[in-house]
Amino acid sequence: MAALINVPAKARRGDVIEIRTLTSHIMETGFRHTADGRLVPRDIITSFTCRYNGTEIFRADLFPAIAANPYLSFFTVAKESGKFEFEWTGDNGYSSTASASITVE
Amino acid sequence: MSTRPVTRRNAVLGITAAAATLARPSISRARSAGLVVVVGGGFGGAACARALKRANASLDVTLIDANRVFTACPFSNEVIAGLRDIQLQQFSYDKLAADGVFVVSETATRIDPQQQSVTVEDSTSFFYDRLVLSPGIDFHVEALPGYDDAASEKMPHAWKAGAQTLLLRRQLEAMDDGGTVAIAIPANPSRCPPAPYERASLIAHYLKTKKPRSKVLVLDAKDNFSQQRLFEKAWKELYGDMIERIALSQGGRVTSVDAPTKTIVTEFGNYTPDVANVIPPQRAGHLAQIAGAADATGWCPIDPVTFESKLAPNIHVIGDACLGGGIPKSASAASAQGKACAAAIVSLLAGRAPEAPRLTGVCYTTVAPGYGFSLAGNYRPRGDIFAEVEGGATSPVDAPRELRAREATEAERWFQTITADTFG
C-alpha cells in the first residue's frame, strides 16, 4: 500500500471539501542509535504537494518530529471537475504519487 | 469514625415507605465504624464492598447497582460465538447481602459531594463518610457521530455484557454463509484491550465451523495492540486468511456510522458488512461524570495509594473508570483495586496512614476452544498513576499446543475463582 486518498467523488461548485491523505513511511528521525551505538540514518518524507488540475493548491514541509505514516488533511473549494494529483518526496530519493478525480456540478 | 449525626440520615430515610427497610436499629448505628457507600456492583465495586465488610464488620456498607443480576464481561465473547450460555455469566448479590452488605437495586441519579450523599431513583438518599465509585465505562458517543442507543440495536457494541451480547450472537446466527462480520475497534484507553481481538478470533471460530465462506473484517483505530504477535500467530494457524485487519495506518479508524444503512465510515472508505459490531470510544461511567470525578480526558484522576479522586473529596474511584496508568482496564485489575481501596478506606476511617498497594492484574484470552494465552502484570503507585513493576509474565509466542490447551483450562479456572471470590 502506497497511499490512501479520500477526495469526495462529487461536489457542488463552490463547496468547501475536505481532502485526506495517508502514506506509509517509517519517518526515521535520524536521532536514534542501534544497540551497538551506530546512528540510524535519517529517512523521512520532506515535502508533500497537491495539485488541482495542474495548479498547486497545498504544500507541506515535513520534519523529523512527524510520526510514521503521515496523515494530512486539508480543505479546498470545489471549482471544476478534474483531477487532484498528490506527490510525496523525501530522503534517499523517495518519491511517491497518487491521484483522485472529482465531478463538480 | 463517622462524625455525622444519626438523625440526619434517619430524617432522609424516613421520607419513603421503602426507606423503612433501610433504617437500622440505633444500636447498630451507634457501633458503626463508618458509613461507606459503593456505587457500581461489577468486579471492582462488589469486591470492594465485600472486602470492607470482611475487614471491619462494624462498618455500614451499602452497595448500589441498578441491576439485580450482574452479567460478567470476561468469557462473554464465548457467548457471542455460541460456545457458552449467558447464564454462566450471571451472578446475584445474595451472598454479599448475607455477608452484611446492604444491597440496593436502584439507579443512582445524584451525588452530592458537599452533603456527602447519593440519591437513587426513588429519591432515597444515602449519606456516606466515604463513597466508592465503580461505574465502569460509558460510550463517548460524541466521538462517534451516528452512534446512539438506537444505532446499538442495529450495530451492537456488545461491550457491556447482557442483552447486547445476545443480540450480536443472534445477528451472527441469522447471517448467511459468505457474509462479512465487521468489528470496529476504538483507540485506547478502553475496557479490556485484548478483548476485541479475542472476539475476532472466536467469531472466526464460529464462522469456520458454521459458515466457512464468511469473513471477519477488523477496522482498527490502533496500529499495535495487546498480545499482537500471539494473536496474529493464532489467526494464521487456526483461521488462515479469514480475519482481515485494517490498522490505523491503513485507514482503519472508524469516524462515523450510519445505522439505517448499516454503514461504517472510516477516514478512507465506507463498509457495509452483514453484521456490524461497533465498539465505540469510551470514557468513565456516567456516574463519575455526575460526581465531578472525571476530567477532560473523560476518565478519573486518582491518588493511586488510596484511589481517592483528585477532583472530588471523600470519593474513591476504582476499576475501568480510573486513570490507572500502566494497569489495564480488566476484571482482574478492578477486583484488585476494589480490595486495595477497601483496605485504604479501613485505614483512613481508623485514622491510620494507608499502605501503598501492590496490585496484580491477569488477563486470559481464548482464541478457540482449547487454545488460550495470558498476560499477568504487577503494578505499584508511582506519582499519580500505577506503573508496572517486576514479576509480570506473558505467554511465549512459540509454544506447543499443549501449553495453549493448558492456558485455556486455566482461563476457565480463573473465571470460576474470581466470580466465586466476588459473588460466591
Q: Could you report the predicted ipTM of this complex, rounded to two decimals? A: 0.83
* Candidates A20, A24, A68; nearest CB to B268: A20
Domain termination site, one of B333, B354, B375? B354
Instruction: Kindly state whether residues B182 and B247 are assigned to the same domain.
Output: yes
Statement to judge: residues B193 and B298 lie in one domain: no
Say yes or no: B26 and B75 in one domain. yes
Given a contact cutoff of 8 angstroms between Cβ atoms, the answer to whether B127 and B62 are in contact is: no
Fill in the DSSP letter of residue B325. Answer: B
User: Cβ separation of A6 and B249 shorter than 8 Å?
Assistant: no
Strands (E), chain A: 3-6, 10-11, 16-23, 45-52, 55-61, 71-77, 82-90, 94-104
Cα dihedral sign, B277-B281-B284-B290:
negative
Whether B154 and B259 share a structural domain:
yes
Task: Quote the pLDDT of residue B4.
Answer: 41
Nearest to B200 by CA among B137, B277, B282: B277
Shared-domain flag, residues B156 and B259: yes
Q: Is A14 left (phi over 0), alpha (psi -120 to 50) or beta?
A: left
Contacts of A22 in chain B (CB under 8 A): 249, 251, 267-268
Whether B154 and B276 map to the same domain: the answer is yes
Report the C-alpha gap between B226 and B121 in whole angstroms: 39
Shortest distance between the Cα of A98 and any Cα of chain B, in A, equals: 14
- Number of structural domains chain B divides into: 2
Relative to beta strand B275-278, strand B90-92 is unpaired
Q: How far is A70 from chain B (nearest CA, A)?
A: 9
Q: Are residues B175 and B303 in the same domain?
A: no
Contact call for A20 and B269, based on CB within 8 A: no
* Domain that includes residue B265, residue range: 144-281
Task: Identify which of B223, B250, B269 has the shortest CB distance to residue A1.
Answer: B250
Q: Which residue of B has its CA nearest to A5?
A: B268
Q: Are residues B199 and B165 in the same domain?
A: yes
Instruction: Give the separation between CA B292 and CA A102, rounded to whole angstroms.
Output: 48
In a domain, B273, yes or no: yes
Length of chain B: 424
3-class DSSP assignment, residue B79: helix
Contact residues on chain B for A69, CB-CB shorter than 8 A: 223, 248-249
Query: A71 to chain B: which residues are within 8 Å by CB?
Result: 267
DSSP code at position A43: B
H helical segments located in B192-304: 195-210, 228-239, 286-290
Question: Which residues in chain B have their CB less than 8 angstroms from residue A3's CB?
Answer: none
Domain for residue B373, yes or no? no
Q: Which of B281, B305, B333 is the last residue of a domain?
A: B281
Best mutation target among A19, A21, A22 (most B Cβ atoms within 10 Å) is A22
Q: In what order do the strands lie in the sheet with B102-104?
A: B102-104, B59-64, B34-39, B130-133, B315-317, B308-309, B302-303
Alpha carbon of B180: minimum distance to chain A alpha carbons (Å): 22
Residue in A6, A24, A68 closest to B267 by CB: A6
- Both B127 and B149 in one domain: the answer is no
Q: Which three cell numbers stand for residue B359?
A: 496490585
CB B229 within 8 A of CB B397: yes
C-alpha span between B147 and B398 (Å, rounded): 40
Of A5, A20, A24, the CB nearest to B249: A24
The whole-model pTM stands at: 0.90
Q: B222 contacts in A (CB within 8 Å)? A: none
Interface test mutation site (partner A, options B266, B268, B270, max chain A beta carbons within 10 A): B268
B249 → closest Cβ in A6, A20, A22: A22
Distance from CA of A69 to the nearest CA of B (A): 6
Cα B76 to chain centroid, rounded: 12
Of A5, A20, A69, the CB nearest to B249: A69
Q: How far apart are CA B11 and CA B398, in angstroms?
A: 65
Position B264 scores a pLDDT of 98
Give the residue from B248, B281, B314 where a domain finishes.
B281
pLDDT of residue B31: 59
User: What is the Cα–Cα distance from B249 to B91, expressed in whole angstroms?
Assistant: 41
The whole-angstrom distance between A6's CA and the closest CA on chain B is: 5
pLDDT of A14-56, one tens digit each? 999 999 999 999 999 999 999 999 999 999 999 999 999 999 9
Residue B223: which CATH number? Answer: 3.50.50.60
Based on the domain organization, do B102 and B64 belong to the same domain?
Answer: yes
B192 and B266 inside one domain: yes
- Are B250 and B297 members of one domain? no
Long-range contacts of B97-100 (CB under 8 A, 24+ apart): B99/B50, B99/B53, B99/B54, B100/B53, B100/B57, B100/B61
One-letter amino acid at B270 equals N
Q: Which CATH architecture has domain A3-7+15-29+44-104?
A: Sandwich (2.60)
pLDDT under 50: residue ranges of chain B:
1-30
The reported pLDDT for the residue numbered B377 is: 95
Question: Count of A–B CB contacts within 8 Å?
Answer: 22
